[in-house]
Amino acid sequence: MTAPRTDTRARRTAAAGVVVALTAAAAAVLGSQPASAAAGCRVDYTIGSQWPGGFGATAVVTNLGDRISGWRLSWTFAGDERVTQSWNGTHTQSGGRVTAVNAAWNGDLATGAAVSFGFNATSSTSPATPAAFTLNDVVCTGSTTPTTTTTTTTTTTTPAPGRSLVDNDFPVTREGAYGDNRFTVFRPSNPQAVDRPLPVLAFGNGACAHTNNSEVTRALTVVASKGFLVVDIGSVNGSANGLPSGSPIPSLLTDAITWAEREQQRSGSPLAQRLDLTRVATAGHSCGGLEALVAAQDRRVSGVVSLNSGFFADGSFGYPRSELAKLHTPALFMDGGSSDVAYANNQANYDLATVPAVLARQPRAGHGGFISGNEVVDGMTTVVQFLDMVLYGNQAARTYILDPSGLASRSPWTVAKKNF
């Protein structure tokens, strides 16, 4: 079995490597005062793939000036290009004008540091490289020079609209996925009553169970009650759906995301235009955690949760630990302590991860407590808080996950973090 390719529709083009040099504001200062810091950056803009009606591109921003705390990159498309999905940040678009804003975890750019922002877009013609960029509202000129102009504080972490996700408690509907009996859907019963479009979570089951998902019903109901659309592998009544169980099929989770994209556009769907497809995550338990970690390589995904899982040192199931180097989003690794059969594996995967990562351990949970035992609510609360932090930049969730006064202060939890 090979890992799923995240651009299966795409064909590579010779457009890769287009470089646009640009200059931007240095880190802003409080109040008004003459600024004498050097300011400048470089953007490597690459059109990595194209398909009929669309393309994918990446903008790698390298800060050549003084430290920037919070970045906002803007450009204008010359044609009818329209960004449909983005990762490593959020985007807005008005006409041809696009503005990309940092995620909660990548807003700080020291001198010489780089950050990558990527997106997919629709286009009726061959896409062109934008003519110019601005960073934090300063026109980019391609040089690094001191500035004597007056600057104003600009901090651009993405705010969480409305309440924290964990404060929600919506009634939940569990139903078969429309037109695809490979999946079961957990969602707020009335999506219109939710104060924001629903983020999407694609979930893989323990033992890579691809037919019956009854074991995870309680846990995923908790997550959906907080305002998520959860798409889980397995038919709603456990009947045959043509899928084998027992070995990871990560493409099922990326297919779950594609199902949500279709449902967003389907006339008559209760989810039509009620999904936030810029805020997508994968998660899974045990063998399903392997599916989630591989599927998280998809560029539509902005966060991943591995529950009692991890890639094996011997590459069992066809996925070696080198897969961890392909992650591009923050990751949460959770286990149930020394009685959890995945305890050592979870620790090793966290140690090898190069993305921003959290290791959360609850020794009373064992291998199944987060999913079907006494620690379901506690475990799913941790999952929701992590996703609220990485998908929305929610500061209260960030404190809960990363601060010593948060989860780490709640015995018997232990928490480690890196790269945040």
Give the model's pLDDT for residue 18.
41
The whole-number pLDDT of residue 140 equals 66
Listed by start position, the domains of the chain span 19-146, 165-418
Render pLDDT for 282-300 as a digit per residue (tens, 0 to 9).
Answer: 999 999 999 999 999 998 9
Mean pLDDT of 296-305: 94
3-state secondary structure of 343: helix
- Specify the range with the lowest mean pLDDT, choosing from 14-28, 194-208, 229-243, 335-349: 14-28
In 250-404, at which residue ranges do the beta strands (DSSP E only) sit?
A: 275-285, 303-307, 331-335, 357-361
Fold category of 19-146 in CATH: Immunoglobulin-like (2.60.40)
Tens of pLDDT, residue by residue over 124-167, are 988 989 988 888 777 767 655 554 433 333 333 333 345 799 99
Residue 112 has pLDDT above 90, yes or no: no
- pLDDT above 50 for 326: yes
Pair 7, 56: CB distance under 8 Å: yes
The secondary structure of 345-359 as a DSSP string is: HHHHHHHH--SSEEE
Query: In this predicted structure, which of 55-59, 215-219, 276-280, 363-367 has the lowest mean pLDDT?
Result: 55-59
What's the rounded mean pLDDT across residues 8-21? 40
- Exposed e or buried b for every residue in 42-81, given b needs 16+ CB within 10 A? bbbbbbbbbeeebbbbbbebbbbbbebbbbbbbbbbeeeb
232-280 tens-digit pLDDT? 999 999 999 999 999 999 999 999 999 999 999 999 999 999 999 989 9
Shortest CA distance to 354 belongs to which of 336, 328, 377, 389? 328
* Domains 19-146 and 165-418 belong to one CATH topology: no
Which of the listed ranges 39-48, 93-102, 176-185 does the model predict with the highest average pLDDT? 176-185
pLDDT at 118 over 80: yes
Residues 190-228 have pLDDT tens digits of 999 999 999 999 999 999 999 999 999 999 999 999 999
Q: Higher pLDDT residue, 223 or 111?
A: 223
Q: pLDDT band at 85, cuts 50/70/90?
A: confident
Q: What is the fold of 165-418?
A: Rossmann fold (3.40.50)
* Per-residue pLDDT at 60: 82
